[in-house]
A and B are shown apart, each in its own frame.
Chain A
Amino acid sequence: METLLSLTIGLLVAAAVYLMLARNVLKFLFGMILLSNAANLLIFTAGRLTFGEPPLIAAGEKLPPPGVANALPQALVLTAIVIGFGLFAFALVLVFRAYTTLGTLNTDDMRVAEPQEEADR
């Protein structure tokens, strides 16, 4: 499963990159969602996969059962998901505002900070 998951993550990254290189900034956003999913899966997989043993301690016990899943990457991924959501929400608002102000979703046309003539000189 690890091999398959590694390939899947690579595919997710490739799809994300392809979308992030698009002209339409909404596609860029979709790419970002895929990328954060890929990153979360990457961290999770790198921490090794354990089937059916969540890192919980039974009531009355001092230690979890042996062979329990790695808790650390889970904690990291959990916060990463929430942060990723915050990033995505902010980016979405930014795109929305850019659209209402500039009237376009094409990133090639968004050149207020670096106008065309400046760049070509």
Chain B
Amino acid sequence: MNSIILRVATRYLAAILLIFSLYMLLRGHNEPGGGFIGGLIGATGFVLHAIACGTKEARAALRLQPQTIALSGLGLALLAGMVPALMGDAFLTGQWLFLGAAEGEKGLPISTVLFFDIGVYLVVLGAILTLVFAMEEEI
């Protein structure tokens, strides 16, 4: 797989996939998408990068260890669940805040649910990359 065209093209493709994955993640609550799909798309991007340029470069592009990403995702999801628990609701009850909400204007919704979904995203991304990178390196 030592084609320059592939390597260069892949870098752009991976970047596009990553941005697309974030888009899918954020729109997930209202349109098809969400943390699982976003995480899978993001992982696909990095897997492509690793196939084309090697895991070393892919790891460098990721900056963080994939295991760390997966675990912080799990931690974030847990935290998103704990916040409502601290506020007196049941574990994982959604808490919503509408920034700049006004009469007739819904405002920008920020919620624990969003953070939970981001946690899912990070878990899926990190877990898949943990395995794929390790497989590639072992074989």
Contact between chain A and chain B defined by CB under 8 Å: yes
A interface, CB within 8 angstroms of B: 54, 56, 59, 78-79, 82, 85-86, 89-90, 92-93, 96
Could you list which residues of chain B lie within 8 angstroms of chain A, going by C-beta atoms? 30-32, 36, 40, 124, 127-128, 131, 134-135, 138-139
Q: Which of A59, A79, A82, A85 gathers most chain B CB within 10 Å? A: A82
**A59 to chain B: closest residue by CB:** B30
Q: Is the CB of B135 within 8 A of A93?
A: yes
- What B residues does A96 contact at CB under 8 A? 135, 138-139
Name the A residues within 8 Å of B134 (CB-CB): 93
Cβ–Cβ < 8 Å partners of B127 in chain A: 86
B residues within 8 A CB of A93?
131, 134-135
The chain B residue with its CB closest to the CB of A92 is: B135
Main secondary structure of the interface of A (DSSP, over half): helix
- Beyond the given A54-B32, A85-B128, could you list 18 further A-B residue pairs with CB under 8 A, ordered by the A residue number? A56-B30, A56-B31, A56-B32, A59-B30, A78-B36, A79-B36, A82-B36, A82-B40, A86-B127, A89-B128, A89-B131, A90-B131, A93-B131, A93-B134, A93-B135, A96-B135, A96-B138, A96-B139
Total cross-chain contacts (CB, 8 A): 22
Instruction: State in angstroms the CA–CA spacing of A79 and B30 once bound together.
Output: 18
Closest to B127 in A: A86
Counting from the closest, the 8 A-B pairs by CB-CB distance are: A89-B131, A82-B36, A78-B36, A82-B124, A86-B127, A93-B131, A56-B31, A93-B135
- Chain B residues lying within 8 Å of A59, measured Cβ to Cβ, are 30
A82→B37 CA distance, assembly (Å): 10
Q: How long is the Cα–Cα vector from A96 to B139 in the complex, in angstroms?
A: 10
CA of A79 to CA of B127 in the docked complex: distance in angstroms?
A: 15
A93 to B127 alpha-carbon distance, docked (Å):
14
Q: In this complex, what residue of B is CB-closest to A82? A: B36
**What are some 16 contacts across the A-B interface (CB < 8 A)?**
A54-B32, A56-B32, A59-B30, A78-B36, A82-B36, A82-B40, A82-B124, A85-B128, A86-B127, A89-B128, A90-B131, A92-B135, A93-B134, A93-B135, A96-B135, A96-B138
